[in-house]
Amino acid sequence: MRLSVRTQYALRAAAELAAAAPGLPVPAERIATAQRIPRRFLDNILLQLRRAGLIHSQRGPDGGYWLARPAEEITLADVVSIMEGAPQDNEVFHGVAEPLGDVWTALRDHEQATLSEVTLAHIATGSLPPL
């Protein structure tokens, strides 16, 4: 699986929000600094996550971002699908290579299953489930 830098940054930002106190706004500057994400890039990512309903935001001096649901209810697959969209099966294999299609499908299914098992709470606490 190849994730864009944008998606990797989104996962890191979401993990930072998961590690914060629930419902307490985290300033974008704090996320950017802690995760070494360029601020302008982060602002666009946070906007996309907010529009998708994954996070909430508040403006002002006490403003920032926080998760819209508990970290235990948000999987890595949720973040990846917001940033990358739904995976597409565009590859068609012919002749002797036809079984490769089944291999790629199995790989994608395994990746999706793994991303669906791991939540932001797992990442924030460093306690991954058995993979």
Is 49 within a domain?
yes
Q: d(Cα 35, Cα 20) in Å, to the nearest integer?
A: 13
> Considering its fold, how many domains does the chain have in total?
1
Q: d(Cα 25, Cα 71) in Å, to the nearest integer?
A: 14
Query: Can you give the CATH number for the domain in which 14 is found?
Result: 1.10.10.10
Q: What is the pTM of this model?
A: 0.88
Give the number of other Cβ atoms within 10 Å of residue 28's Cβ: 19
DSSP 100: H
3-state helix, strand and coil shares in percent for the chain, rounded to the nearest 5: 60, 10, 35
Percent of the chain predicted with pLDDT > 90? 80
- Residue 59, pLDDT score: 94
pLDDT single digits (tens) 105-120: 898 899 999 999 999 9
Is 103 within a domain?
yes
- Residue 88, pLDDT score: 67
Structural domain for 40, as ranges: 5-125
pLDDT single digits (tens) 10-56: 999 999 999 999 889 999 999 999 999 999 999 999 999 999 999 99
Is 105 within a domain?
yes
With bands split at pLDDT 50, 70 and 90, how would you rate the model's confidence at 89? Answer: low
